[in-house]
Amino acid sequence: MEYRDYYKVLGVDKKATEKDIKSAFRRLAQLYHPDKNPGDKRAEDKFKEINEAYEVLGDAQKRARYDQLGASYAQWQRAGGGAAPFDFSQWAGMGGGARPAGGGAAPDLSEMFGEGGFSDFFTSLFGGGQRRAGSGARARPSSYNLRGDDMEQPIDISLEEAFHGAKRTLQKGERRLEVNIPAGARTGTKVRLAGAGGPGQTPGDLFIVISVRPHAVYRREGDDLHVDVPVDLYTAVLGGEARVPTLTGEVVLNVPPETSSGKRFRLTGRGMPKLRQAAERGDLFAHVVVKLPTHLSERERQLFAELAALRAKGQ
């Protein structure tokens, strides 16, 4: 009887984790599933082989015993194969533990293809591969429903698109998918497109992962925006008005006398819409940046000198 390398069948390393094994099984099972390859005997055989491998490697107890068998078989090969064929009988009927609960279990091949679903190698070692529940009763699913993998697709948007909401069209195979990006989206926001993910009898979902590009004017913190507002020296000293840009147009800010550079003013409700609560908005914080005059005339220099002298006398 020929030894079967189940790790090679799934294309994983012998040190593969349970997650690696499950992922490899799902990918290959979707590729070779009979429903996707009707009448293809080669695909059917490959599908049986994949599921047989997962029946062993996906069960911790069976995998441990199989690894022991593999080590002995490798030792026998290194010794040149010996005078007699490898003795599989000492490993026969070692059985297996219960498959852990949850998604990802391999289908019952005897129910899908008849009693010949498992190889002689598997049957001699595990007695037919009947998966048992904790109570000892045979667990045979009435149907096979392999769910496709969930997938992610990154999309970049501008701050303006995040403010107003946006639409994108994706081409996925022959399908055109319309993506509605909600107002208030931020970097990391996910938009779910049900059934647009990996193929399977139940397709997985596609998650659009939003990334909002940095803006040249605004800094975003959650639902709040921050913006620098240049104010000339005379307005900062004497008071006056400054224009503040917002994503819905300019507004006028009343600057009180003796406003220092760095002082910030809150403009309530002028920030970003709150995700899925577009009627509510964060705030806009205007940070005053005092601009000093340049290219002074001689008379202006004299006036500043006189002002400095007055300040010195006042002290």
The beta-strand segments (E) located in the chain are 151-157, 166-172, 175-181, 190-193, 206-212, 218-221, 224-232, 240-244, 251-255, 264-267, 273-274, 277-281, 284-291
pLDDT digit string (tens) for 179-236?
Answer: 999 999 999 999 999 988 877 777 889 999 999 999 999 999 999 999 999 999 999 9
* Cβ neighbourhood burial of 286 (10 Å; 0-12, 13-18, 19+): buried
Domains and CATH numbers, the chain: 6-126 (1.10.287.110), 151-212 (2.60.260.20), 218-298 (2.60.260.20)
pLDDT beyond 60 at 8:
yes
**Hey, what are 51's tokens?**
């599921």
pLDDT beyond 60 at 110:
no
Is 271 within 8 Å of 282 (Cβ atoms)?
yes
Separation of alpha carbons 283 and 221, rounded Å: 10
Mean pLDDT of 265-288: 94
pLDDT digit string (tens) for 130-176?
Answer: 443 333 333 333 344 567 788 899 999 999 999 999 999 988 777 88
pLDDT digit string (tens) for 33-91?
Answer: 887 888 888 988 898 889 889 988 988 888 888 888 777 766 656 656 655 566 565 55
pLDDT digit string (tens) for 296-307?
Answer: 999 999 999 999
Amino acid 1: pLDDT: 64
Cα 170 off chain centre by: 18
Is 202 within 8 Å of 148 (Cβ atoms)?
yes
Mean pLDDT of 288-315: 90
